[in-house]
Structure 1
Amino acid sequence: MKDVKDLLFKELYPEDRLNPNFRNIANEKLPFARDLIKNWAEGFVDRDYKFVKEFQTTFNSSFWELYLFAALKELGFVVNFNYDRPDFVVEGDNSFLIEATIASHAKDATPEWHKNYSEEELNEWNKEKIVDNATLRLANAFIGKSRKYTDSYKKLTHVKGKPYVIAIAPFDSPYFFLQNHHAFQRVLYGIDRFIAIDWDHQSREILNMIFLEEIEKKTGSKVPLGYFTNPDHSHVSAVIFNNAATFSKVRVMSEDPRITLVQFRRFNDYGTQPFEGVVEKSVFNEHLLDGIVVFHNPYAEIPFDIEEFLHPVIGHYGFDVEKKEFMSDIPHGYIFNRHIMVMDIPEATPEQLRQYRAQLTKDNKPKDTVFPKFHN
């Protein structure tokens, strides 16, 4: 029987049944994106013989699983595929479990692959709408997998005594990649935002921290927030999240020779202002694990204290319930978001491409920041 990696792009269904994301990748003339995804899938086992079908017809959840599998391999873990659930049973001296899911768009909402970057659309999907939408969809995804544990997984012998981690990726709106961690901080810790002033490049004054106990749906019903601020979900040890584990990561990390512009925002641990700008891919370094953050549950029955996740590019969040103190350990250079634009110039010579890259990087210098800068 062929490996999953060899079947991923063997189209099994008519064109109209294929997910648009899959169809775009499968129809590309250049093989580089497909080759990298196949590399991620090396060693992956299709336990229920549905994975390839779902990869081709729904795509996002399967893509997220392949990314997680690649990340676990990168960290040196071994996944035991002899168990049919949860998604990843990691064995070894510090064994743990990962259940993977995505926050998808609501039934009557716009799918993430429908976007045109028009001024009208960008005005519609402002930051507030992106974060509010993500808050509802992430909360829904978290609750579903939390209940999955209590309704099913906790009875399994191979689950007992191991940290249970929910890994969630956001694909909930056309511009989901701009939500950063704001929505999930609401969902898990009830933190809406900080009120702060940046006086200069080195001085930031935190004035207040605003909490949000619930959020209202279009129907008028209220969805509670702050699931890690009480013991109701103590069976969930942590949540793994990555706002940057998108197809753009494949583009940036692949050997695709085309000119690719990368717009990015990275954390600056030595100053008040993030690193952001637009550069050409050849001068942009991205690690496979870039963008991963672990939200720890202070009420966890079994804490997620896995040494391998104390990696130089992985972020961590925690919460002191008594002090209502938010704790963060985000590494310098951590990538909050990144999206790309590929410029296909097939007639260009290697020297012309080199000149284009040099000019593009030269023309995109960081803008000066005006202080004081108010954050609300």
Structure 2
Amino acid sequence: MKNAYPISKKLFDIFALFTREPFVQFYTKELEFYSNGNGVLLGLISMDLIDGDYYTCILSRDSSRQYRAESVEGNIPTIEQARSWIDTKMGSDAITYHENVEYFDVFKGRTSEKQTHPNYKLLKESESFSSAREVIKEVSYHYKDIDGNFIDQFQSINGFDARVWELYLFCFFREQYFSFERNHEAPDYLVEKFGPKIAIEAVIVSRKTALSKVLEHKSSEEIQEALSNDVPLMYGSALFSKVKKEYWKRDHVQNMPFVIAIADFHDDFSMTWSFGALSEYLYGYKYSSSFDDDGKLLIEPVQVEGYKKRNGTIVPSGFFFQPGSENVSAVIFSSCATLSKFNRIGKQAGLGSGNVELIRTISYHDHDPNASEPALLSYKVCEASDESWSEGIIIYHNPNANILLNPDLFDERVAQAFFQNGFIKSVMPEVFPYSSSTLNLIVKE
């Protein structure tokens, strides 16, 4: 082939995640992926799962820089003929190239230097985050700015973390084969999968400490003290801020599950250690562990009554058991939805600078029934890595919800938690990180 060059599925998925409609998975199987060498054109060979023949497609960018089908051919008898079609079409003058386009540019300078988030500066300028930069560009081409202020907030000190979380959720739900209906300002997303719809409102635990150039780790004593009271209160404040808005009463949200998606950005590295405080706050229990004489792990539930604010007010534990929360079908959480997630996804697809080396360390769920601690793993992120957008998501289902969220709408890559008789029953994927950190290294020969 002289005009078409093979590329990985991971790279094609970044370009075409929002181009392909979710339903195509049921009648075609994607086999091979191509580029014309500079990414202006993409090629795809698929097998028709009904007839067993092949489909081919050439995609080019439209005026919004989204990849769209430019030329499609079906009923091709052999894959060799399909490859020949791709190669010929990629060299054809009949293919449309879109130039001088106008598109949604999240890196267009708008926010003043003083109000710009330092992590946005890293994303825009640093070689270390070049992979994330390329991924976020591709994702943003498909993002519909309902509020009209996304770019300003994405760049700003007060809005950057929240907007990164929203972009991550955009990728997660699409990877889970949901379609988006974005005709309303609130809640943030209405998604649909072959009929059933879900309303999602995104929220974060916002920054509580000053931003500084030197990131600081808390001591284990400081972490335990924060987990015992302050962090559950932070989660509670963020969640109830959304409950008060009563999104479920809006006409376009009627009779569907309403879900709050929350992430923790309250301090440096807080998302790496605050995981357990959320489940404790949602269900009102924490758990002690011990081993019997045979080495079997024993779990004992301990009910948590509440938490004390600085003014002395007691806030009850057990969000799902408080008045008003019956309108919340579930809470979605991830400890991994940071810039580093976008960076790793891009790196494993071959995007970004070749001078950057990413070393990821995760504490992840140990499936040994007698394991009382997470397992640990460090690895170099490369094109053989296979991290998904879904990895790290956990869905906490509300046992008292007026409208239950159907767990079958999500695949086996997603962790799901259910509460019964004082215990949290979890369905865990093969790999579920409780926390994740990534070391960025510049390696130049």
| TM-score, with length taken from structure 1 | 0.81
SS of the residue 2:341 aligns to: helix
Q: Does 1:316 align with 2:416?
A: yes
Aligned AA (2:234): R
Of 217, 230, 236, the residue aligned with 1:133 is 230
Is the 1:262–1:284 Cα contact (8 Å) retained in structure 2?
Answer: no
Q: Does 1:254 align with 2:342?
A: no
Of 168, 186, 196, the residue aligned with 1:94 is 196
Distance 2:320 2:397 in 1: 8
Is the 1:214–1:224 Cα contact (8 Å) retained in structure 2?
Answer: yes
Cα deviations across residues 302-328 of structure 1 (Å, max 9, x unaligned)?
10005231x2221111112xx323221
Distance 1:131 1:260 in 2: 33
Is the 1:248–1:338 Cα contact (8 Å) retained in structure 2?
Answer: no
Distance 1:63 1:131 in 2: 28
What is aligned with 2:273? Answer: 179
Distance 1:253 1:147 in 2: 36
Of 177, 183, 200, the residue aligned with 1:76 is 177
How far residue 23 of structure 1 moved from its aligned partner, in angstroms, is 1.4
Unaligned 5+ runs, structure 2:
1-62, 66-101
Aligned AA (1:37): I
Is the 2:223–2:273 Cα contact (8 Å) retained in structure 1?
Answer: no
Residues 201-350 of structure 1: matches in 2 within 5 Å?
203-230=295-322, 232-255=324-347, 256=352, 257=354, 258-270=356-368, 272=371, 273-282=373-382, 285-309=386-410, 311-320=411-420, 323-346=421-444, 348=445
What is aligned with 1:164? Answer: 258
SS of the residue 1:318 aligns to: strand
Aligned AA (2:174): K
What is aligned with 1:32? Answer: 131
How far residue 277 of structure 1 moved from its aligned partner, in angstroms, is 3.1
Distance 2:409 2:307 in 1: 35
How far residue 204 of structure 1 moved from its aligned partner, in angstroms, is 3.7
Residues 40-49 or 65-74, more deviating: 40-49
Aligned AA (1:250): F
Aligned AA (1:317): A
What is aligned with 1:19? Answer: 117
| TM-score, with length taken from structure 2 | 0.69
Is the 2:413–2:429 Cα contact (8 Å) retained in structure 1?
Answer: yes
Distance 1:240 1:23 in 2: 28
Cα deviations across residues 60-101 of structure 1 (Å, max 9, x unaligned)?
111111111111111111111112211101234111100111
Residues 35-44 or 167-176, more deviating: 35-44
How far residue 231 of structure 1 moved from its aligned partner, in angstroms, is 5.5
Distance 2:233 2:409 in 1: 31
SS of the residue 1:299 aligns to: coil
**What value does the CA root-mean-square deviation take over the aligned residues?**
2.5
Q: Does 1:10 align with 2:104?
A: no
Distance 1:276 1:180 in 2: 17
How far residue 131 of structure 1 moved from its aligned partner, in angstroms, is 6.0
Of 206, 214, 238, the residue aligned with 1:104 is 206
The verdict on how the C-alpha distance between 1:28 and 1:130 changes in structure 2, with shifts beyond 3 A counting, is: farther
Distance 1:325 1:288 in 2: 28
Residues 136-145 or 32-41, more deviating: 32-41
Distance 1:181 1:7 in 2: 33
How far residue 194 of structure 1 moved from its aligned partner, in angstroms, is 2.5
What is aligned with 1:197? Answer: 291
Is the 1:130–1:178 Cα contact (8 Å) retained in structure 2?
Answer: no
Seq. identity, %: 26
How far residue 196 of structure 1 moved from its aligned partner, in angstroms, is 2.6
How far residue 219 of structure 1 moved from its aligned partner, in angstroms, is 3.1
Distance 1:166 1:209 in 2: 26
What is aligned with 1:366? Answer: none
SS of the residue 2:400 aligns to: coil
Aligned AA (2:409): E
The verdict on how the C-alpha distance between 1:195 and 1:180 changes in structure 2, with shifts beyond 3 A counting, is: same
Of 44, 56, 59, the residue aligned with 2:143 is 44
Count matched residues.
334
The verdict on how the C-alpha distance between 1:345 and 1:198 changes in structure 2, with shifts beyond 3 A counting, is: farther
How far residue 210 of structure 1 moved from its aligned partner, in angstroms, is 1.5
Distance 1:122 1:180 in 2: 13
